[in-house]
Amino acid sequence: MARYIVRRVLQMVLAFFGTTLLVYWLMFAASGDPIAALAGERPLSESTRAALIQEFHLDQPFLVQYAYYMKGLLTLDLGVNTSGREIGELVASAWPWTLRLALLAFVFVVVAGIALGVIAGTRRGGAFDNTTLVLTLVVISIPVFVIGQVLALVGARYDLFPTNVVGDDSLAALIVPALVLGSLSLATTVRLARTSVTENLRADYVRTARAKGLIHRRIVGVHVLRNSLIPVITFLGVELGSLMGGAIVTEKIFNVPGIGFQLYKAISIEDGPTVVTIVSLLVIVYLVMNLIVDVLYGVLDPRIRYE
Amino acid sequence: MGRHSAPEADDAAAAQTGEPLLQVDDLHVEFRTGDGVAHVINGVSFDLRAGETLAVLGESGSGKSVTAQAVMGILDTPPGHVTRGAIRFHGEDMLRMSGTRRRQIRGKRIAMIFQDALSALNPVFTVGWQITETLRKREGMSKKDADERAVELMDLVRIPAARDRLKSFPHQFSGGMRQRVMIAMSLAERPEIIIADEPTTALDVTVQAQIMDLLGDLRRELGTALILITHDMGVVADVADRIAVMYAGRIVEHADVHSLYRNPAHPYTIGLLDSIPRLDDKGKRLRTIPGLPPNLTAIPSGCPFHPRCPFAQDICVTRVPPNMDLGGGRRSECHFADRIVTGELTRPDQEDE
Amino acid sequence: MSEAAIAEAAAEAGANTRSLAADAWRDLRRNPVFWVSAVIIALLVTMAVVPRLFTSTDPHSCRLRDSLLPPSGEHWFGTNLQGCDIYARIVYGSRASLEVGFLSVAFVAVIAVILGMIAGYYGGWSDALIARVTDIVLGIPLLLGAIVILSSIELPSVWPVVLALGLLGWTTATRIVRSSVISAKQQDYVQAARMLGANNRRIMGRHIAPNAMAPVIVILTITLGQFIAVEATLSFLGIGVKGNTITWGKDIAAATARVTTSLGPVLFPSAFLALTVLAFIMLGDAVREAFDPKLR
Ligand SMILES: Nc1ncnc2c1ncn2[C@@H]1O[C@H](COP(=O)(O)OP(=O)(O)O)[C@@H](O)[C@H]1O
Ligand code: SF4
Ligand SMILES: [Mg+2]
């Protein structure tokens, strides 16, 4: 087990540096003019220019710039944005919102996704199963921003639920945004759980469990479920990371003042440093979630653990 | 274990002559699928007395596993349906029992061992957990007591260092050891009958012999009755008391081991015996039964074996052979069984060699 | 193995591939899902290529006094805030979506086929290297990576979006090409051709590529739908296709400026977008089912 974890951690460290390097490169080196990439088209005063060059070490070779940037990121010194505000502060005040939103969405995806998937999987071919299949396909096909925008519109027009989260501190205001954020993951989870349950119901060990005289509820609820959940949990773990990344759309639509909202604002005002910092942070969250999932996978599936 | 097993062994000896433990009577099973109705079991009847070993023999697809599943009550329904017959355990028809009562017999009084222990064991639970599952859930044992019992059982099936291996997972065992785990699991609640469905087919030849020895020893020590399903005629000679030969969902011959090997009474049995590799017929060609097992959605008229039978006559195509009683507990479903068993009728192609 | 035997084996394999394709086609033809999605896609493509066939209204000629008219004979879907005909804008907006979809998927296909075949056929260090690069790119969620790339390019055309999606979206397809190449490579006739010393490029082109095609086509079709959704999302966020080009995503975003007044300007383009994505995903599913009956 320890060796498995060490191997995965090493792979993640490699992917971490590779990924952040790629993000950084895409931001600065890929566009010809790094200053324009940072501050957009607007005219800059000579002093701002100089400050940007100093802040991002633009007079140094690319890899040195990257090294400085990584150092800042790893020591949580996130620097200042183009209007001189500490990005660290920005992130610190926005983070809790996104975390709450993503966790709420995640709970929803886990509970509803597994429950619906297991029910559909055990009743394959039935009315419930077919309805679930069609509905999930529809949800998968409608881009999240469309679902969100239409819900926000309808909600506001008929005054069904709050569609503007700014200034509303209650968790209740986050429910609809969380449903929207989780909708795609939910549909995918349902389908994955369904397939996994159906496959496992056909497995030989189910026949053994029946031959032991176990009751049906225990065969499905313990033997089949424990096996079926392995791919589902793996998927879900990765999803928690991408839910935070996906929050940009939901937070924009419902005005949730989280990380995604800040990212959206930074894009609109062409604030390069904030964009690249927030994206890097989200990528890190995503990678760490992947690592946790890999370890969890090892715990759940003994065949992996001892390889 | 010994302290529990002694009285059972006595019972077994006493019961040898008494009421059969299990009576399967005119069992019919069909599978209804998109391709039509497959008549998989077509009137199977046999008895099993306490402590006795019955081998069920036949080519793959002849309905051995389905018979076992019907007895256990674990047929895949749908598509499988029992359409006729009775399966009496201690005289009571299990097909007419409530689901709950039947489940209390399943695994506890009649247990089953499957062919491929790697896939038949649940990959994500330890073997200790799986062996003790019914003890904890049905017998209400504490985890500690159940673990003790699991160690006893693993010792009994000769798994070395049993206590250390309780926490191991199935994939960490060799094939033979895994099958021992399976056997230990089936013995957990001291069943009266064990049904072993091709328990050695997935194993290496040397390991096969060890597992067969183990099954033979356990049966002697514990007095458990055994239904041993196999398609390998060579395996059963040492272990079985009686043999039922299956073809196309029927028991075509039924005899004690010695008579069956010495004077087979059905052409299909002769074919099976001829296809066993023997030490003394070096150089001679192994004879296999020509043709393929029948399509169960369209079983041939008359005797289902007639398209492949070297003895077949016109009557075989038109009339279903009777279940002929040959005395001494022997039966055969062949029009000419009485003349084949005495050697009066021999294989028409025999003279050519 | 003799030349003749190999030729025979190869011919048989070719015949197998062909009969597999024939079987798949027979299944597809009977599948209503396939026909529905194929017809929708054909209509959309026609719409994108010759929008005039569908409307004679100029999507750019908008009169502010026509703002937010309800659906009528003249404006089928009504008008938007600026007074433009929504139906005409949807018709003309289909081009951007489909251009991005097809071009970026073509980009992905080229990368995936080249990298996947190298990794799968040669294995060894090139496989390991490609696997590591795949890991790195997989570490960046598509939407976030595209945001980073697009926030530094100001070109008013579909190409920046195509570039971003192509650069970030090739990983799954590459893995699929790699694994189908590995399984095709293990087939007897390919082994035989290798033993005979047939040249690698010939083996890949003649024997492996045709066998590895089906799963790649499936994943590319589904990816196409996803890319159209991502493009609309990026345009919605104001970072997708820049300039004057009409896109569904931009129109949906613009329509939300005045949310409470009228649902049409949001609902109609949204419905077309969803239908387009759905059509490609259903088509991919139908093809997958046809090639792999086990999935049913
Ligand atoms: N779950 C099932 N669905 C459909 N047909 C089945 C099923 N199980 C068994 N059968 C049919 O029953 C026949 C006998 O199978 P089985 O009892 O497994 O043979 P064997 O003698 O090899 O154990 C097979 O030909 C198979 O077609
Ligand atoms: S009844 Fe006829 S066909 Fe059937 S086994 Fe006997 S001789 Fe052969
Ligand atoms: Mg069988």
- How high is the ipTM of this complex? 0.84
| A199-213 per-position pLDDT tens digit | 899 889 999 999 999
pLDDT of residue C120: 85
| C95-116 per-position pLDDT tens digit | 888 999 999 999 999 999 899 8
- How far is CA A84 from its chain centroid? 29
CA distances from A63 to A11, A23, A55, A60, C224 (A): 21, 13, 15, 8, 35
Q: Per-residue pLDDT averaged across C45-56, rounded?
A: 82
- Six-digit token string for C238: 């104001």
**B300, pLDDT greater than 70:** yes
Bond prior to B78 in cis (omega within 30° of 0): yes
Per the listing, tokens 């049906």 go with: A216
Q: Per-residue pLDDT averaged across A266-291, rounded?
A: 82
Residue B133 sits at the chain A interface (C-beta within 8 Å):
yes
Chains with 3+ CB–CB pairs under 8 A to A are: B, C
For ligand 2, whether the C-beta of B305 sits within 6 Å is: yes
**B126, pLDDT greater than 80:** yes
**By CA distance, what is A223's nearest residue in B?**
B122
* DSSP calls for B167-234: T--GGGS-HHHHHHHHHHHHHTT--SEEEEESTTTTS-HHHHHHHHHHHHHHHHHH--EEEEEES-HH
Whole-number Å distance between alpha carbons of B82 and B41: 9
Q: Per-residue pLDDT averaged across B349-353, rounded?
A: 49
pLDDT of residue B292: 82
- Six-digit token string for C160: 């920046």
**B128, pLDDT greater than 80:** yes
Are C and B touching by the rule of 3+ CB pairs within 8 Å? no
Q: Per-residue pLDDT averaged across B59-63, rounded?
A: 88
CA neighbor of B232 nearest in space, from B191, B205, B201: B201
Question: DSSP letter at B106?
Answer: B
Among B6-20, B235-249, C98-112, C137-151, which stretch is predicted with the lowest mean pLDDT? B6-20
Q: Which residues of A153-169 are buried (b: 16+ CB within 10 A; e: fewer)?
A: bbbeeeeebbbebeeee
Whole-number Å distance between alpha carbons of C25 and C34: 11
CATH assignment of the domain containing C159: 1.10.3720.10
Residue B33 sits at the chain A interface (C-beta within 8 Å):
no
| Assigned domain for A31 exists | no
| Assigned domain for A245 exists | yes
Q: Per-residue pLDDT averaged across A281-292, rounded?
A: 83
**B324, pLDDT greater than 60:** yes
Q: Which of B303, B326, B339 is the best mutation target for the ligand 2 pocket, counting ligand atoms within 8 Å of the beta carbon and taking the most?
A: B303
Distance B313 CA to ligand 2 centre (A): 7
Q: How many CB pairs under 8 A join A and C?
A: 144
For residues A143 and C292, the model is more confident at A143
Q: Is the distance from CB of C242 to CB of C154 less than 8 angstroms?
A: yes
Please report the atom of ligand 2 found closest to the CA of residue B306.
Answer: 3
Which of C141, C233, C277 is the closest to A141 by Cβ? C277
pLDDT of residue A270: 77
pLDDT category at C17 given cuts 50, 70, 90 is: low
CATH assignment of the domain containing A170: 1.10.3720.10
**A246, pLDDT greater than 50:** yes
**Opening angle at CA C231, ends C226 and C232, nearest 5:** 100
| SS3 letters across A33-100 | CHHHHHHCCCCCCHHHHHHHHHHCCCCCCHHHHHHHHHHHHHCCCCCECCCCCEHHHHHHHHHHHHHH
Q: Per-residue pLDDT averaged across C14-38, rounded?
A: 76
Q: Which of B27, B31, B32, B72 is the best mutation target for the ligand 1 pocket, counting ligand atoms within 8 Å of the beta carbon and taking the most?
A: B31
Whole-number Å distance between alpha carbons of B111 and B106: 6
Q: Per-residue pLDDT averaged across B120-144, rounded?
A: 90
Residue A268 sits at the chain C interface (C-beta within 8 Å):
yes
pLDDT of residue B12: 43
Question: DSSP letter at B352?
Answer: G
pLDDT category at B291 given cuts 50, 70, 90 is: confident
Distance B303 CA to ligand 2 centre (A): 6
Closest ligand, as measured to the CA of B345: 2
| Assigned domain for A77 exists | no
Q: Give A-chain residues touching C263 at CB under 8 angstroms.
A: 153-154, 157
| B262-286 per-position pLDDT tens digit | 888 888 988 888 877 665 655 555 6
Q: Is the distance from CB of C51 to CB of C91 less than 8 angstroms?
A: yes
Q: Is the distance from CB of A94 to CB of A262 less than 8 angstroms?
A: yes
Q: What backbone torsions phi and psi does residue C103 show, to the nearest 5 degrees?
A: -65, -45
Q: Which domain holds residue C108?
A: 3-295
Residue B82 sits at the chain A interface (C-beta within 8 Å):
no
Total domains in chain C come to: 1
Stated pTM of the model: 0.80
Would you call C76 exposed, middle or buried from its count of C-beta atoms within 10 A (0-12, 13-18, 19+)? middle
Q: Give A-chain residues touching B123 at CB under 8 angstroms.
A: 205, 227, 301-303
Q: Give B-chain residues touching A204 at CB under 8 angstroms.
A: 114, 116, 119-120
pLDDT category at A27 given cuts 50, 70, 90 is: confident
> Could you tell me where the DSSP H helices lie in chain C?
3-29, 32-49, 86-122, 124-138, 142-150, 159-168, 171-185, 188-195, 200-203, 209-236, 248-255, 264-291
**A261, pLDDT greater than 80:** yes
**B3, pLDDT greater than 70:** no
pLDDT of residue B350: 54
Domains of chain B as residue ranges with CATH: 9-240 (3.40.50.300), 272-342 (no CATH)
Q: Which amino acid is at B339?
A: R
Whole-number Å distance between alpha carbons of A153 and C13: 57
| C227-247 per-position pLDDT tens digit | 998 988 998 888 888 878 888
| Assigned domain for A209 exists | yes
pLDDT category at C68 given cuts 50, 70, 90 is: low
CA neighbor of B59 nearest in space, from B224, B278, B232: B232
Q: Which domain holds residue A180?
A: 100-271
| Assigned domain for A39 exists | no
Q: Is the distance from CB of C241 to CB of C158 less than 8 angstroms?
A: yes
pLDDT of residue C66: 66
- Six-digit token string for B119: 């896939």
Tell me whether residues A302 and B169 touch, CB distance under 8 A. Answer: yes
The residue whose CA has the least distance to atom 4 of ligand 2 is B303
Which of C153, C259, C260 is the closest to A31 by Cβ? C153
Would you call A32 exposed, middle or buried from its count of C-beta atoms within 10 A (0-12, 13-18, 19+)? exposed
**B7, pLDDT greater than 50:** no
CA distance A96 to chain C (A): 20
Q: Give B-chain residues touching A223 at CB under 8 angstroms.
A: 122, 125
pLDDT of residue B9: 42
For residues B73 and B337, the model is more confident at B73
In angstroms, how far is the first alpha carbon of chain A from the final one? Answer: 9
3-state SS assignment for residue A303:
helix
